[in-house]
Amino acid sequence: MNKDQFLQLLSQSGFPEPVEVLQPPNGRLDNHTHPFAVRALVVDGYIEIESQNGLNKYCVGDVFELAFEQPHSETYGPLGVKYLASRKQ
């Protein structure tokens, strides 16, 4: 998916404008939750997310979603990751 398609998807599903998020090379966030739902488009590098759904890897052009307060952990590739994230209360 490209950025324009992602922005259209957000608009159609009631998500606000995304913000750019940068995470460091080989970084990790242990198990945590967010007080919002997330829909994000990976634009550089990759992210691996582990949740009750298993371990999933998201690369450039992939969209990932996390539900409100969904427990998960995150691992970032050797170049880190940059993604556009929209947060919905």
- State mean pLDDT over 47-63: 97
Domain coverage including residue 21: 3-88
The number of domains in the chain is: 1
Residues near 15 by Cβ (< 8 Å), separated by ≥ 6? 39, 86, 87, 88
Looking at residue 30, which CATH number applies to its domain? 2.60.120.10
Q: For residue range 76-86, list pLDDT tens digits in order.
A: 999 999 999 99
CA dist., res. 49 & res. 74, Å (int): 5
Q: How confident is the model at residue 89 (pLDDT cuts 50, 70, 90)?
A: confident
The pTM for the full model equals 0.94
